[in-house]
């Protein structure tokens, strides 16, 4: 599908969608316990893949309005009857591979993008902990074969590629028979996502001792997440806030309460760039007023999903914007550093791609025909660019269903001139 975007401003108010990261974890942890209810979940392509995978492993999940009613497996996931297809969800692949290591075995695969994303550190750790896990093609990518059961023990995990590997182990290891120790090798990238996992485990009664260099986990634990309400998603909110910032508009975004999400850093980044922001954290109402933006330097080691948004903001700000420590962004749905440099260059941006980031000399953007690279975050970021540039056409627009199915409807509701079709 093609998204056609014209120069426009935004106004009014919009509710941010629920967090994808919290929804994945709430579904999985609830399913691994006796069950319960997950309120206000994000229902997107990615989270529906997690629902389907949890059901394949023995849970029963019903969608009842804005609630998921979960009948869990009580710490004993079953061996699935068929291959688990995670579609385009890397989070589902990594977490469910580790959960599958609590069964007699499973095969997991996904779409072409998933079949190109690395999983070597997770496979190594599952083998270290007593399971058997390998890539069918021996390239560390899906399809993956996982044979259980992990028992416990010690593993050294490379933290430089993705925190999803650690989150997967943190969810599965408490249900193993023996205690486990996970030692992080190198800098733990995207640490806030691991913190979200620990928060959710604590909510469900799980116990992990850690200084974020080592994680000690007692075996034989049980989860009980009886009721959980999913918070708003700062990653999705970044596009709404950026839309106001680059068009000099005033917008209220509802549903943004403080949480452990690393992408909440978008608020401070926009303030540093010159946007006016008032935030009632108790109510969750944030008002932003855009205007002249100034370039900034951003360390993206903890906030990889913000990189496409920051690249667009930097392209429209005065002066230089530097994105650094973002090499792990190359291992997402696509190589997001390369993709944003390529597409924003088509729109006239002065942007340099570096091994670990981007250097952008801000200015103006011009309308162009660009590609979304089948990546939801690329599509949404380029839509924001199109609001300032006008006359912009973005392909693979349907990919927004991965994390923000109502994105284009919400953008139109606040005044964006955007049409999707073809």
Given 233, 305, 375, 395, which residue is catalytic? Answer: 305
320 is in an annotated binding site: no
Which of 231, 236, 203, 222 has its CA nearest to residue 22?
231
Residues 28, 50 contacting (CB under 8 angstroms): yes
Residues 404, 44 contacting (CB under 8 angstroms): yes
Residues 171, 198 contacting (CB under 8 angstroms): no
Which of 48, 53, 194, 30 has its CA nearest to residue 39?
30
Which of 130, 221, 217 has its CA nearest to residue 179?
217
Report CA dihedral (10, 15, 19, 23) to the nearest 10 degrees.
Answer: -140
190 is in an annotated binding site: yes
354 is in an annotated binding site: no
Contacting residues for 116 by C-beta, under 8 A, at least 6 apart = 141
* Structure tokens that stand for 258 in this block: 């403080």
336 is in an annotated binding site: yes
Residues 381, 411 contacting (CB under 8 angstroms): no
Which residues are registered as beta bridge partners of 345? none
399 is in an annotated binding site: no
User: Could you please report the per-residue DSSP string of 77-143?
Assistant: PPPPSS-EE-TT-HHHHHHHHHHHTTSS-EEEE-STTGGGS--HHHHHHHHHTT-EEEETTSSS-SS
21 is in an annotated binding site: yes
* Structure tokens that stand for 59 in this block: 């849970």
**Residue with token string 């690279």:** 373
| Residue 140 is among the residues annotated as catalytic for this protein | no
78 is in an annotated binding site: no
90 is in an annotated binding site: yes
154 is in an annotated binding site: no
117 is in an annotated binding site: yes
40 is in an annotated binding site: no
Is the preceding omega at residue 143 within 30 degrees of 0, hence cis?
yes
Residues 108, 93 contacting (CB under 8 angstroms): yes
332 is in an annotated binding site: yes
Which of 21, 46, 96, 88 has its CA nearest to residue 262?
21
Q: At what angle do helices 307-315 and 234-247 cross, to 10 degrees?
A: 10
Give dist(CA 176, CA 128) in Å, integer: 13
Is the preceding omega at residue 149 within 30 degrees of 0, hence cis?
yes
Sign of the Cα pseudo-torsion (373, 159, 202, 49, in order): positive
SS3 337: helix
Q: How would you classify the pairing of strands 285-289 and 106-109?
A: unpaired
9 is in an annotated binding site: no
Can you say which residues are annotated as belonging to the binding site?
A: 20-21, 25, 90, 117, 162-164, 190, 305, 332, 336, 377
Can you say which residues are annotated as belonging to the binding site for 3-phosphoshikimate?
A: 20-21, 25, 162-164, 190, 305, 332
Can you say which residues are annotated as belonging to the binding site for phosphoenolpyruvate?
A: 20, 90, 117, 164, 336, 377
Task: Give the residue numbers annotated as catalytic, written as ranges.
Answer: 305
């Amino acid at each position: 599908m093609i998204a056609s975007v014209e120069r426009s401003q935004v106004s009014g108010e919009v509710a941010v969608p629920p967090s994808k990261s919290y929804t994945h974890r709430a579904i999985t942890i609830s399913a691994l316990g006796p069950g319960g209810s997950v309120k206000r979940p994000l229902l997107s392509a990615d989270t529906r893949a997690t629902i389907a995978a949890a059901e394949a492993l023995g849970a029963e999940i019903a969608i009842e309005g804005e609630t998921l009613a979960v009948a869990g497996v009580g710490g004993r996931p079953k061996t699935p009857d068929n291959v688990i297809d995670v579609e385009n969800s890397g989070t589902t692949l990594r977490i469910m591979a580790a959960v599958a290591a609590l069964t007699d075995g499973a095969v997991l695969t996904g779409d072409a993008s998933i079949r190109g994303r690395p999983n070597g550190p997770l496979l190594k750790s599952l083998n270290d902990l007593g399971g058997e896990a390998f890539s069918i093609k021996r390239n560390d990518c899906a399809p993956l074969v996982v044979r259980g059961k992990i028992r416990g023990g010690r593993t050294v995990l490379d933290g430089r590629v993705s925190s999803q590997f650690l989150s997967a182990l943190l969810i599965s290891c408490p249900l193993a028979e023996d205690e486990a120790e996970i030692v992080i090798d190198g800098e733990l990238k995207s640490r806030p996502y691991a913190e979200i996992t620990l928060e959710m485990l604590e909510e469900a009664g799980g116990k992990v001792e850690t200084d974020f260099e080592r994680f000690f986990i007692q075996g034989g634990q049980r989860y009980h997440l009886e009721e959980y309400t999913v918070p708003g998603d700062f990653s999705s909110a970044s596009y709404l806030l950026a839309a106001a910032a680059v068009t000099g508009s005033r917008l209220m975004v509802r549903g943004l309460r403080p949480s452990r999400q690393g992408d909440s850093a978008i608020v401070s980044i926009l303030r540093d760039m010159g946007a006016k922001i008032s935030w009632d954290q108790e109510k969750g109402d944030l008002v932003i007023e855009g205007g002249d933006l100034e370039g900034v330097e951003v360390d993206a080691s903890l906030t990889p999903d913000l990189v496409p948004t920051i690249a667009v903001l930097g392209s429209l700000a005065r002066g230089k914007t530097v994105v650094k420590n973002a090499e792990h962004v190359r291992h997402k749905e696509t190589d997001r550093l390369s993709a944003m440099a390529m597409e924003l260059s088509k729109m006239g941006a002065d942007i340099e791609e570096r091994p670990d980031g981007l250097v952008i000399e801000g200015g103006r953007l011009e309308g162009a025909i660009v590609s979304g690279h089948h990546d939801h975050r690329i599509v949404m970021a380029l839509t924001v660019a199109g609001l300032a540039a006008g006359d912009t056409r973005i392909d693979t627009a349907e990919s927004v269903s991965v994390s923000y199915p109502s994105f284009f409807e919400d953008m139109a509701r606040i005044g964006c001139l955007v049409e999707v079709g073809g």
